[in-house]
Structure 1
Amino acid sequence: MNKFNKIIKNEEGSMTLLWIGVLGGMMVLFLFVLNLSKVLAVKEQANTTSQQASFAATSVIYDNLSPSISSYDNYILSLNLDPLPKLLSEKIAEMESSIRSNPRYRDYSNNEISLEAMDRALTSELSGGFEPELLKNLLENALQGAVPTMISVARDTIAENKGNIDEAKIRLKDNRIYIRASNDFNATAYDKYIKGFRKKLFQESAGPEIGFLSSLSLGISDNWIPLGDEEITWEEND
């Protein structure tokens, strides 16, 4: 009987160890899946961070166009021509109306339609409008002065999305503003099997194409510029 009890106890001990091993393995597997899901979530967050920052910086460009468009229209009006050429603001309004009536753009937001109309009208005017050189000079002056605001807005957007500014970068290439930014991934640790660590996960996104920029000479480099620098020089010779 004692021998039988001893066997039973040994079996119970073995089963206990087996269950501990199984539970430990399940815990490791659970944490692996948990960390993997966190990686995917943080990568998506980093993509959102870079995407929103690139769109915000792009919006700054369009936000700075109104004074140039008004100055251009006022110049045309000051000539007292008869018949009066169609003003740039009128061309933009007509283009916007045309885009809104096109089923191809039914998924565009009101803001996206406005920006698309402005881009098309400016591209057309710069390539063969009433006074393209004047418009070119007006836009170049306005956009070069907007660079500090673009950088500031990009930084603020990254910070709002809990991204890292210190290693974030910006560049203007192929008429698009690109942002490379990261968010922190913190791995969940488990004993000696899975170590906890922190890693920056980077993603890169580009804003919508700004077609009329191809007609301008902004002297802006297409190299990556660190957003973490206190003073940023975004010039062609850098």
Structure 2
Amino acid sequence: MISKAKNEKGNISLLVMGLMGVTMIMFLVVLSFSKVFAIKEKASTASEQASYAATSVIYELAITAVEDYDSSLPGKIDEIIDKTLQEKIDKKKEELMTFNPFLSENEAKIEAIDAILSEELNGAGLKSEILNEMLLEQLNQADQQIRDAVSGVILSNDGILEGTIVTLLDENQVKVETSARYEALKYDELIPEDKRKLKQKAKGPEIGFIKELKGWSDYPIEF
């Protein structure tokens, strides 16, 4: 009887140890999956924020083109007989915020820029041609500023800059594809380096005035 009891106790101990081992393995698997999702989320955040940062650069350059236009001969003529482009944008922004109080000031400004520039670019004659040329001149020099903005965002989110692709534009939106590096909890050394990158991509808001810009060609920026 004693021998039988000992055997039963030994079997129970082995069963408990086996269950603990299985539980530990399941725990590690769950942690690994959780870490994968966390890294993918990090890459997703980096790509989304980077696409917005690049879009912001484009609008900043558009405002620089507006300032150049307003200080040029067509702008001076407009100032005498009507309003400068900047004044039109400011007025449109106020109107948008009045009719839609849920719009932030920045959202209203972007919508106003899109509306006024689209309207002006659609016009006939020398003024629209000059504005078109000034916008193209600014945007064709955007490469380095966009690189700086995107790299800053990605690195601050622990993303991987190498292999990042910024598409200007995809359906009038800035698209950013980037990745973050995965490290396993166990046996990390067995994972090849090219399998560690978890890629994600995101697009920024639509840039409305680009649709009316003549001579614009979409292109990628690769890191």
On whether the aligned pair clears a TM of 0.5, the verdict is: yes
Q: Any idea what SS the aligned residue of 2:140 has? A: helix
The correspondence of residues 55-94 of structure 1 with structure 2, limited to 5 A, is 55-74=52-71, 75-76=73-74, 78-79=76-77, 84-94=81-91
Tell me by how many angstroms 1:209 deviates: 0.8
Q: How much has 1:81 moved relative to structure 2?
A: 7.8
SS at match of 1:141: helix
Tell me the TM-score normalised to structure 1 length: 0.82
* Counterparts in 2 of 1:209 and 1:122: CA distance versus 1, 3 Å: same
After alignment, is 166-175 or 19-28 more displaced?
166-175
Post-superposition Cα deviations, 1:88-135, rounded to whole Å, max 9, x if no partner, equal 1121012111221233x61x4322221221122111111127711110
Aligned equivalents of 1:125, 1:136: Cα separation in 2: 9
Q: Structure 2: how far apart are the matches of 1:159 and 1:80? A: 44
Q: Which residue is 1:114 aligned to? A: 109
**Equivalents in 2 of 1:5, 1:49: separation in Å?**
65
% identical aligned pairs: 34
Match of 2:217 among 209, 216, 219: 219
Establish whether residue 168 from structure 1 lines up as the match of residue 146 from structure 2.
no
TM-score norm. by structure 2 comes to 0.87
Give 1 or 2: higher helix fraction.
Answer: 2
Out of 10, 13, 16, the residue aligned to residue 10 of structure 2 is 13
Which residue identity is paired with 2:162?
Answer: D
- Cα deviation for residue 78 of structure 1 reads 3.5
Q: In structure 1, what is the equivalent of residue 132 of structure 2?
A: 136
Q: In the alignment, is the contact (CA less than 8 A) between 2:143 and 2:221 conserved in 1?
A: no
Q: Greater shift after overlay, 16-25 or 153-162?
A: 153-162
Task: Say whether the 8 Å CA contact 1:50–1:204 is kept in structure 2.
Answer: yes
Counterpart CA distance in 2 for 1:114 and 1:177 is 18
- Tell me if the contact between 1:43 and 1:202 (Cα under 8 Å) persists in the aligned partners: yes
Aligned CA RMSD, in angstroms, stands at 2.3
Matched, 1:205 2:202: yes
Structure 1 residue aligned with 2:186: 189
Aligned length: 216
Gaps of 5+ in 2: none
1:26-41 alignment, distance < 5 Å: 26-41=23-38
Identify unmatched segments of 5+ residues in structure 1.
228-238
Partners in 2 of 1:178 and 1:43 — Cα distance? 17
Q: Match for 2:40 among 22, 40, 43?
A: 43
SS in 2 for 1:145: coil
User: Do the aligned residues in 2 keep the contact of 1:186 with 1:196 (CA within 8 Å)?
Assistant: no
Q: Measure, in 2, the Cα distance between the counterparts of 1:78 and 1:110.
A: 27
Distance in 2 (CA, whole Å) between partners of 1:48 and 1:127 is 36
State the 1:68 CA deviation: 1.6
Question: Would you say the 8 A contact 1:123–1:215 is kept in 2?
Answer: yes
Evaluate the alpha carbon distance shift between residue 77 and residue 189 of structure 1 in structure 2; reply closer, same or farther with a 3 A threshold.
Answer: closer
Residues 81 and 203 of structure 1, relative CA distance in 2, 3 Å threshold: closer
Q: Counterparts of 2:91 and 2:76 in 1: how far apart (Å)?
A: 22
Q: Residue type of the partner of 2:114?
A: D
Which residue of 135, 149, 152 corresponds with 1:153? 149
